[in-house]
Amino acid sequence: MNQEPIIETHNLSKIYGNQLAVNDLTFSIQEGEIFGFLGPNGSGKTTALLMLLGLTEPTKGWARVAGFDSTKEAIKVKKIVGYIPENIGFYDDMNAIQNLQFIARLNNMPDSVSSIKIEEALESVRLKEEAEKKVGAYSRGMRQRLGLAEIFIKEPRIAFLDEPTLGLDPEGTNWIIDYIQSLSRDKNITILLSSHDLKQVQKISDRIGIMLKGRMIAVGSIEKLAKEKLGVDDKEISLDDIYMKYFQEEAV
Amino acid sequence: MTGIGPIFRKELADHFSSYRFIILFALIAMVSLITTYMVGISLREELGGVAKPKFVFLMLFTSTGPLFSLVQFVAFFGPLIGLMLGFDSINRERSSGTLSRLAAQPIYRDSIINGKFLSGVATISIILISILLVVSGLGLKLIGVVPGFEEVWRIFLYLIISIFYISFWLGISILFSIVFRGIATSALATLAIWIFFSFFVSMGASVVANAIIPLDQSTREDTEMLMRHIRIQRIVSLISPMQLYNDSTAIIIDPTRKTTRSLVLMGPLERLSSERFRRPLSLSQSIYIVIPHIISLIAITFICFGVSYAVFMKQEIRST
Ligand SMILES: Nc1ncnc2c1ncn2[C@@H]1O[C@H](COP(=O)(O)OP(=O)(O)O)[C@@H](O)[C@H]1O
Ligand SMILES: [Mg+2]
């Protein structure tokens, strides 16, 4: 663990009006990790991801991704990061192939290369049968899978996945979680996975960071957090316990 | 300018496959053909037996048939083409959640609006060129006169100015789609600004002129004062791109004109001058007169594009 972290932030903060969305966030992720980025709704996860990707400017602090400054070298960061926004949107009147091809073109991928990869990707996310259907007719789960197909095609060094399991049934959730693990394992993609549900991500996360009101209140492997924060076995740990513990510590 | 190519191509395909475009195109084609047909028929009757005047082919575009001339139609309806092509270009991407995915690709953010603007300009050009070609063909058949070299040049210049004019409206509508989050809001706002410039600027101009030089019994008889009143009115109305466009195309496509003033607003002496009908302006003289107008038209297009840039680059990209 003495190599340069692939993602690093320092006092990263974002203020909207008088609302502190992200507050002095300092953390780092090593290459190859699956990092669970946890926290309830409104805790600042999406805002932090947007700043990491250069889509919004930090009010204070900085972020570096693979050595590039997220604000000043946003294009270089975007070249090596695949991003699935929360509530992912596609062009509803285009089919899956057309949607993916458009993104491939924006990444400077020649059509001859992308058409092969698109086929492979759709196969791997089990959308081959529906490839020619307009995406407007897709279910939520299918859309999330199509988003993952985009990551499969781009093969980025890092993937930011913002609540990819939001609103899915347990079966769909499990499938997505397993698929993310395979992306990490087979393609060696570093994964920053945001979620508000610890249970969903604890199976695959090497480490987790817990956000609350814009602050990262705890970070580490799940076992370490369970032992240090709660003194329990990691099987029983839940986010609510950690929040409780945190508030108790604050109160002291 | 990475990313502009794929965005341009996608937007162009979107335009040409949309119902919006098909309906718009059908409407314009229909009105143009009917207008040309009526004007062509009446020109043929009027000119039967008489020696043909020099620029008879251009009269196809400038003669008012029973309703309006083709040039008037484009001036009035053209803005709607630009507005319809752009009013939802950014806010639709935002509300459907595609904007954040698009902005997360390794492209410059300005490529998004550049690509959209250029594809709109290409669409506008294709509409205008095809309409002009069809109208010219039909006119040729109806009046049986082949346009002269200078007439072709004038039609070409008219086309270029018209593309700029409609692109200005496209720029306005893209700006509104950036500023307003709701698609219905931006649609209403574009309509409002179109109505404002179509109707209220000319009204406002006469109000301003009246305030500075009231037209009463004494000033009405004083030609000097009357002229000044009219001049003020004209200067104020030049803030309207429609006025800029009307004035410049009138000179280009109607060579018998000498000033950018329309006939009714012309001073009494000018109106009486018969020279106007004897020696039409040369092409270079016409261009010389309208250059300032064209530059203003291009300038306001760029200003509104610059504002779009500034707003869009600062804006939060978020899917929720
Ligand atoms: N554009 C914005 N303007 C004002 N406040 C915002 C904006 N975006 C997010 N916020 C606020 O910032 C906080 C963090 O939001 P977000 O990053 O979306 O949290 P999460 O992704 O963890 O649910 C929330 O309180 C939210 O209301
Ligand atoms: Mg979020």
- Helices assigned H by DSSP within chain A: 45-52, 74-80, 96-106, 111-124, 140-154, 170-187, 198-202, 222-225, 239-251
CA-to-CA distance for A46 and A162, rounded, in angstroms? 7
Count the Cβ atoms, other than its own, within 10 Å of residue B2.
14
Mutate which: B8, B89, B99, B100, vs A, most A CBs within 10 A? B100
- Write the pLDDT tens digit of every residue in B250-280: 888 877 654 544 444 444 444 444 444 556 7
The residues spanned by each domain of chain B are: 4-314
Q: Is the sign of the CA dihedral B267, B273, B278, B283 positive or negative?
A: negative
More confidently predicted of B252 and A21: A21
Share of chain A above pLDDT 90, in %: 77
B10 exposure class (CB count in 10 Å sphere: 0-12, 13-18, 19+): buried
* Residues B121-141, mean pLDDT to the nearest whole number: 93
- Write the pLDDT tens digit of every residue in A31-71: 999 999 999 899 999 999 999 999 999 999 999 999 999 99
pLDDT for the residue A2: 58
pLDDT for the residue B1: 56
- Model confidence at A209, pLDDT cuts 50, 70, 90, reads very high
| Predicted complex ipTM | 0.90
More confidently predicted of A235 and A204: A204
User: A135 C-alpha to center of ligand 1: Å?
Assistant: 28
Share of chain B above pLDDT 90, in %: 40
**B170 vs chain A: nearest CA distance in angstroms?**
22
Angle at A70 between CA A156 and CA A23, to 5 degrees: 115
CA-to-CA distance for B265 and A187, rounded, in angstroms? 74
Q: Which ligand is nearest to the CA of A14?
A: 1
pLDDT for the residue B40: 87
More confidently predicted of A251 and B252: B252
Domain A1-77+163-215 is found in CATH 3.60.15.10: no
Torsion on CA atoms B262, B267, B273, B278, rounded to nearest 10: -20
Phi, psi of B52 (to 5 degrees): -75, 130
Q: Of the candidates A53, A86, A89, which has its C-beta nearest B96's C-beta?
A: A89
Please say if the pLDDT value at position B293 is more than 90. Answer: no
Please say if the pLDDT value at position B156 is more than 90. Answer: yes
* Residues B224-230, mean pLDDT to the nearest whole number: 80
Write down how long chain A is. Answer: 252
Please say if the pLDDT value at position B24 is more than 50. Answer: yes
pLDDT for the residue B250: 83
- Write the pLDDT tens digit of every residue in B184-211: 999 999 999 998 888 887 778 778 878 8
Q: Which of A180, A214, A177, A227 is nearest to A198 (CA)?
A: A177
Query: What stretch(es) of chain A map to CATH 3.40.50.300?
Result: 1-77+163-215
Q: Of the given ranges (A177-181, A186-190, B204-208), which has the lowest mean pLDDT?
A: B204-208
Instruction: Tell me whether residues B106 and A56 touch, CB distance under 8 A.
Output: no
Phi, psi of B268 (to 5 degrees): -60, -35
Residue with tokens 């799940």: A222
Contact B112, B103 (CB under 8 A): yes
Pocket test for ligand 1, best of B181, B318, B320 (most atoms within 8 A of CB): B318
Count the Cβ atoms, other than its own, within 10 Å of residue A102.
21
Most confident of the following: A84-93, A94-103, B246-255: A94-103
Q: Of the given ranges (A223-237, B166-180, B299-313), which has the lowest mean pLDDT?
A: A223-237
User: B317 C-alpha to center of ligand 1: Å?
Assistant: 12
Query: What's the Cα-to-Cα distance from B160 to each of B121, B125, B252, rounded to whole Å?
Result: 11, 9, 11
Count the Cβ atoms, other than its own, within 10 Å of residue A137.
10
